[in-house]
Structure 1
Amino acid sequence: MHHGRKRILAGLASSAIAVIGITAIPAAPGNAEPDIDDVKARVDKLYHQAEQASERSNDAKLKLDDLEADLAALKADEKKQQAKVDSMTSTVSDAVAAQYEGQDISTTGQLVLSNSPDEFLSDLNTVSSYNDVQADTVADYTRETDSLEIRREATQERADELADAQADLEENKDEADAKLAEAKELLGKLEEEERARLDTEASRGTTRLPANVPASGRAAAAVNYAMAQVGDAYVYGAAGPSAFDCSGLTMMAWAQAGVGLPHSSSAQMGSGTSVSSGDLQPGDLVFYYSPVSHVGMYIGNGMIVHAANPGSGVTTAGVFSMPYSGAVRPG
């Protein structure tokens, strides 16, 4: 009986120790720091989303420039046509006045003093002796006023398109800024040591290759310029001299060779001769994602130089380090 009591007490003691051991295990903190790999993936995604919005903004800016030029030409044409109609109005008015000389001045005065071509023609049609007026002159006048109206409509249409393009530009710029701010906020929540590790990982691909990357002709000027920018900052919408976005870098690089490219990755894809991935030469532009939202420049040895993102700046990478879409050879 004595031994049985000891066994019971020992069992109770073991159970108590087990309970104490369980309660002593610290609970996982509810606000633990995010895993750095998860943060890196989220930041990279935000950078890409920001770049997509920025490139759409670049596209809108190109459209805006074209529309502004088109609108200016349409306005000039409309003004010229207006002057022509005004001159013809005077001629037709004089003809009508001559036909109806001696009649009630209110009819003639109404014709001569009309405030608009439409009003003038409407009044003219009310005159009972319309067929006696110089028919050819009036017919010409009618055609010219119709032509003026077509020009007015075209001008208004371009003005509306211009307003839409301006709205698209601002919307995409705001989206790019918002995504970048979100990425910065996410990075700001990391501990300093982890953030330093993340910055180190982002800069590992930054390897300044020799300045004499094998290139010939105009491509050499483009490659040398792009390579000289390695280490510069990435800024959305920038095209130098010390910061670039992806299409800004390639645009400025090929400008050194006298080749004009648009400031847009998708537009640059249509600015050269298409080449296969197996035929790439230094200076060729390589495009990524679908739809295209990033561009780099091939420098040989399976590498590109590109303005990567705000975390990495202008750097080098493998040609297939991103989803490959195609390549072109400018010039």
Structure 2
Amino acid sequence: MQHGRKRLSTALVGLTLVGAIGLIPTSPAQAEPDIDDVEARVDRLYHEAEQASERFNDARIELADLQKDLAALNADEDRQDARLDAVREQVRDSVVRQYEGESISAVGQVVVSDDPSAFLAQMTTMSSFDSVQDELFDSYTLETKALDIRAQAVAQRAADVAETKEQLAEEKATIDDKLAEAESLLDRLETEAREAVVSRDSSARTAAPAPTSVPASGRAAAAVQYALAQVGDAYVYGAAGPSAFDCSGLTMMAWAQAGVSLPHSSSAQFSSGPQVSSSDLQPGDLVFYYSPISHVGMYIGNGMIVHAANPGSGVTTAPVMSMPYVGAVRPG
């Protein structure tokens, strides 16, 4: 009888376990991502995209320089080719005359020359025709070597251009991938949560409304006025206005209003003027962030900068030390 009760108890335990297992979901529902975690990851992706964007800007500047070099080398090669053709023609005529048994003395050259005095002035001695031929062939050899050197330089520059274009394509793909990943993270959130992330990102970078006026003077005043007028505009990687900017595009266009030409690159702009300490910042100074440098803003006074922040914040203001500070320069 006890054995029967034991079998019944075992069966009931088995049924209980089966029922419990049946209540366990076959695939757990995907947990909603934590807003703080998403915000941090989106910020990181935006920054990685900006790093790629600034490398893209650097490569674009390099490509423009390489293309100028290539055009100059091509023109130089064409001139050298023309000189070689001229010498080649002289050599051919000389070979033909030699083959026909013609031997013109130096005195004869003076006689048949259109300008005998000029011919004599070019000759230090009354050399033989064979000597003149030797010089001609030496000239041909020299011009051929010169053309070969220029051709090699052209080929190298052309290879550099192709490599830089590949780098541009790679950086553009990186930008697109990082933005797509950030958008995918935001899409996983409900509408309200997504708006909260974007709003918190914007408010975290903006400590106060943009000032209506900044005590700047000279050319810096024009640069600051332009930059502040763009607050609220969109952030677009590689853009330089009129209604969207990236960080170096904004500072480049702002200083252009003051007649100062800056490259469209934060790292290149770091060499655009003398460096100034953080304690000596004046409105209009450019302030740089991250190592290697991948972001730039413009100081507007009271410990604040105006900058094109990221796609979530656009052009806005922020505390000067709100990002990893590297240094500052004073253009103009």
TM-score, length of structure 1 as denominator length: 0.82
For structure 2, the residue ranges without an aligned partner over 5 or more in a row are: 1-20, 103-128
**2:196 aligned with 1:191:** no
Residue number in structure 2 paired with 1:92: 91
Contact 2:39–2:201 at 8 Å: present in 1 too?
A: no
Residue number in structure 2 paired with 1:290: 291
Structure 1: how far apart are the matches of 2:264 and 2:131? 61
Name the amino acid aligned to 2:317: T
**2:153 aligned with 1:154:** yes
Structure 2: how far apart are the matches of 1:174 and 1:150? 37
Residue number in structure 1 paired with 2:115: none
Residue number in structure 1 paired with 2:100: 101
Name the amino acid aligned to 1:244: F
Structure 2: how far apart are the matches of 1:275 and 1:246? 20
Please list the CA deviations of residues 284-303 of structure 1 after superposition, one character each: whole Å capped at 9, or x if unmatched.
Answer: 00000000000000001001
For structure 1, the residue ranges without an aligned partner over 5 or more in a row are: 1-22, 104-129
State the Cα distance separating 1:100 from its structure 2 match.
Answer: 2.1
Percent of aligned positions with the same letter in both sequences?
Answer: 66
Matched residue SS, 2:258: coil
Contact 1:51–1:236 at 8 Å: present in 2 too?
A: yes
State the Cα distance separating 1:138 from its structure 2 match.
Answer: 1.1
Structure 2: how far apart are the matches of 1:142 and 1:179? 56
State the Cα distance separating 1:99 from its structure 2 match.
Answer: 1.7
Contact 1:96–1:133 at 8 Å: present in 2 too?
A: no
Contact 1:302–1:318 at 8 Å: present in 2 too?
A: yes
Residue number in structure 1 paired with 2:60: 61
Give the 5 Å matches for 1:63-212: 63-102=62-101, 134-204=133-203, 205-206=205-206, 207-212=208-213
Contact 2:287–2:298 at 8 Å: present in 1 too?
A: yes
Please list the CA deviations of residues 208-266 of structure 1 after superposition, one character each: whole Å capped at 9, or x if unmatched.
Answer: 42231111100000000000000100000000000000000000000000000000000
Structure 2: how far apart are the matches of 1:314 and 1:161? 35
Structure 2: how far apart are the matches of 1:214 and 1:101? 88
Runs in 1 of length 4+ with deviation above 2 angstroms?
A: 130-133, 205-211
Name the amino acid aligned to 2:162: A
TM-score, length of structure 2 as denominator length: 0.81
Structure 2: how far apart are the matches of 1:325 and 1:213? 24
**2:237 aligned with 1:236:** yes
State the Cα distance separating 1:132 from its structure 2 match.
Answer: 6.4
Please list the CA deviations of residues 142-176 of structure 1 after superposition, one character each: whole Å capped at 9, or x if unmatched.
Answer: 11111100000000000000000000011001101
Structure 2: how far apart are the matches of 1:202 and 1:230? 16
Count matched residues: 282
State the Cα distance separating 1:92 from its structure 2 match.
Answer: 1.1
Contact 2:210–2:231 at 8 Å: present in 1 too?
A: no
Residue number in structure 2 paired with 1:280: 281
